[in-house]
Amino acid sequence: MEVIALSLYTGSLFLIVFVVAPTLLRTEKNKNIAGGFYGRILWRFYKIAFFLILVYLILGNRWVGLLLLTGFSLNVAISMWLKRYKRTLGNIEDHPFNSPQRAKFRKVSYLSTLVLLGNFLLSTIILFKEVG
């Protein structure tokens, strides 16, 4: 059961990192709408991911589960910061592309995606060790 939970977590991370994020965040127009949609997807993913990691933590290797939970928590913390910062900015398209506020938001968004990628790589390695 823990391998199934880890597989679902890893697969959903793959979809977020390699399908959803590039598709929505590389749009030229309506960045505000695309970003809001991505945020909704991400927060729904977090609820499912927490449950899957919790299942793995209970049934699988506890130390590895704590490592996965730590990476997941880092992503949630970054997303919470981005959400608060976005509220102070308002519509992102009202700010010039190179404005300091928008550049900061963009850098932290990239950091969030990079941490998601790290979590994907970590969970993939763990999954291969569990199966192999």
Write out pLDDT tens, residues 45-54: 999 999 999 9
Report helix, strand or coil for 131.
Answer: helix
The pLDDT of residue 106 is above 90: no
Burial class (CB in 10 A: 0-12, 13-18, 19+), 76: middle
The pLDDT of residue 76 is above 90: yes
Rounded CA separation 104/57 (Å): 35
Write out pLDDT tens, residues 15-38: 999 999 888 877 777 878 888 888
The pLDDT of residue 96 is above 90: no
Q: 78 vs 29, 50, 101, 114, 116, CA distance in Å?
A: 25, 16, 16, 11, 11
Q: Which of 8, 35, 7 is nearest to 23 (CA)?
A: 35
